[in-house]
Structure 1
Amino acid sequence: MIIVMKSGSPRQEIDLLLTELSGWNVVPELSVGKHKVAIGLIGDTAEIDVRQVQNLSPFIEQVLRIKKPFKRTSLEFRNGEPSEVKVFTPSETITFGQNHPVVVIAGPCSVESEEMIVDTALKVKAAGAKFLRGGAYKPRTSPYAFQGHGESALDWLATAKSVSGLGIITEVMDAAELEIISSVADILQIGARNMQNFSLLKKVGATNKPVFLKRGLSATIEDWLMSAEYILAAGNPNVILCERGIRTFDREYTRNTLDISAIPVLRNLTHLPIAIDPSHATGKSELVTSMALAAIAAGCDSLMVEVHPNPQKALSDGPQSLNFPNFEQFMKEITPLGKFFGRWQEPRYTNSKVTQSQTSLANWKIGVL
């Protein structure tokens, strides 16, 4: 149930209403938007009479029931206003959201060495990325495949963060590693295979870290939003939804099927920011740019792209990874469309940035030696 307050309602009246509602065996949660203030009632509201709530204050504009199973995640919970997720990186504050520039996240599937991840961080930053992605712990279909370097990889990510100033996003597979990963990561990624690991969702929900929640391989949109609900219900409102392709009947020509329609569908269902991972969705590097363009046109808020210095020798997901020149070209190709929709931040790519990247890498190598 949502209570929408009239514009200009005195804070004192809102506080009195919150106090009254606290005794109703529900949890009132205040949501302050740009134009309206709303109060969400969390709990069993089936027996609460809408007219009874309406009579509590002359400053109540309307009372609405949320019929969907996801409550905090629903668009109605914020009275139709999109939410923002702010992330404080070493160099700047980045905002994910519908009314902000598209945020590009780039980097390898797995962190393979310190020099490799530092080099990648500097190159993707020079091309315009705002976050570095890289797996320290990797969930793999086969138990014999490369599983990541673990804590060593986290140390290397911390170095890349320090040298480049980029924010870090890496996956949490087990709550046992949550604390050490949180010490390095600016955003915690929940992978597709863990989308319905509810105990893990509760744990990340109890942190202050933004969460990048990938859609499960065979998850419906409602399944996905209910998983996000677990995180919000645990107290963490900073969730970014990521569509990364779902499993369908065609596995020969693409790795998965990218559900572009999920973007406008989610816009009508939830206030949360929406990201697209065209690399995992297609599994082929030559398809990444076209799918990223489609995602921007459909209204996504962020793109996650796999980038590797030498994809042919990557320890995981090489076929879907762009090399450095291809990523620079990718950024150049998506920039005009981002500008067209007013979703681009300047400057993105300049030759001077490449020169600065090369200088930073050289200085880092000197420091290591």
Structure 2
Amino acid sequence: MSEYKLVRKQNRHEKTMVRVKECCIGDGDLTVIAGPCAVEEEEMTFELARALKHMGVHILRGGVFKPRTSPYSFQGLGWNGLEILAAAGQNAGLPVITEVTEAGDVEKVSRYADILQVGSRNMQNFGLLKEMGRSGRPVLLKRGFSATLEEWLLAAEYIMSAGNNQVILCERGIRTFENYTRNTFDINAIPALKRLTHLPVLADPSHGTGRRELVEPVALAAVAAGADGIMVEVHPQPENALSDGFQSLRPHELAPLINRARAVRDALHTGCVAR
């Protein structure tokens, strides 16, 4: 553990709280991040952002640079999509988060996005991590789909050692021999990270399962395990989504999930659920 000079819990007396406009991640309340896997067009993004704000979502997500396994899959709208996402967030009164895939894009994306995301495929892109550390923006670091906890925490150490202590960890499932789900959501990682690090920990049950019907139960399990928040993909017409529609909730499915997740969180705080 000696290499975790900055992320290690024992080296910091207080938990890290990441403030993004009016939202504070890691302060004991449940943070909800939601939005489409990919920004597709302006009108839909604006309408969805306003609906999410009304439901109590804190942060709007949306991919604009999409690193896909197949080169023939939808790669995102790029800079035009980023402008749409930022405008939709401003219109709805929500901060926005989006993934950055190239170190050279960090500065420009930072002008539009309130939180920069490092995706699973880039968790060990050390040049990108260092640039994130110099960005001055909060960074959400997703776990690599084959990464150990040690590798994940050392990736966070790269960001923090470059001068940025506003780091959020996000468990999004790992690759195992199981093929019924897209990934295997590692529920163990959440309480383990709570013992190892002072950084806030979020859960992404959308990528963690890849199946719409499993998003809610896994999200609730993550909250019960101690997650500081959830990150959920939402699309008004998942069957027509250009990216990951099969794991995206419809807007009317999100509101009850948020209510149940908050009830679980409240139960933890009042001691009704064993930690």
TM-score when normalising by structure 2: 0.95
1:321 aligns with 2:248: yes
2:206 corresponding residue in structure 1: 279
1:128-277 aligned within 5 A: 128-251=56-179, 253-277=180-204
Amino acid of the structure 2 residue aligned with 1:134: G
Deviation track 1:253-273 (CA, whole Å, cap 9, x = no partner) reads: 211000111111111111100
1:103 aligns with 2:31: yes
Deviation track 1:286-333 (CA, whole Å, cap 9, x = no partner) reads: 101101110111110010000001000000000000011111222233
Amino acid of the structure 1 residue aligned with 2:139: V
> Which residue, 49, 71, 76 being the options, matches 2:10?
76
Amino acid of the structure 2 residue aligned with 1:272: L
Larger radius of gyration: 1
1:364 corresponding residue in structure 2: none
Q: In structure 1, what is the Cα distance between the partners aligned to 2:257 and 2:194?
A: 26
1:315-354 aligned within 5 A: 315-342=242-269
Q: CA deviation at 1:243?
A: 0.3
Deviation track 1:168-226 (CA, whole Å, cap 9, x = no partner) reads: 00000002221221111110000000000000000010011000000001000000000
Q: In structure 2, what is the Cα distance between the partners aligned to 1:148 and 1:221?
A: 30
1:86 aligns with 2:16: no
Number of matched pairs: 270
Amino acid of the structure 2 residue aligned with 1:161: G
Q: In structure 2, what is the Cα distance between the partners aligned to 1:116 and 1:175?
A: 29
Say whether the 8 Å CA contact 1:101–1:342 is kept in structure 2: no
Q: In structure 2, what is the Cα distance between the partners aligned to 1:340 and 1:156?
A: 38
1:304 corresponding residue in structure 2: 231
Runs of 4 or more above 6 Å deviation: none
| Percent of matched pairs sharing the same residue | 53
Structure 1 unaligned blocks of 5 or more? 1-66, 344-369
Amino acid of the structure 2 residue aligned with 1:72: L
Deviation track 1:64-113 (CA, whole Å, cap 9, x = no partner) reads: xxx4322111012104x32111112xxxx21111x420100000110000
1:3 corresponding residue in structure 2: none
Q: In structure 2, what is the Cα distance between the partners aligned to 1:330 and 1:183?
A: 32
Q: In structure 2, what is the Cα distance between the partners aligned to 1:254 and 1:128?
A: 28
2:273 corresponding residue in structure 1: none
Say whether the 8 Å CA contact 2:206–2:232 is kept in structure 1: yes
Q: In structure 1, what is the Cα distance between the partners aligned to 2:219 and 2:113?
A: 25
Q: In structure 2, what is the Cα distance between the partners aligned to 1:72 and 1:294?
A: 28
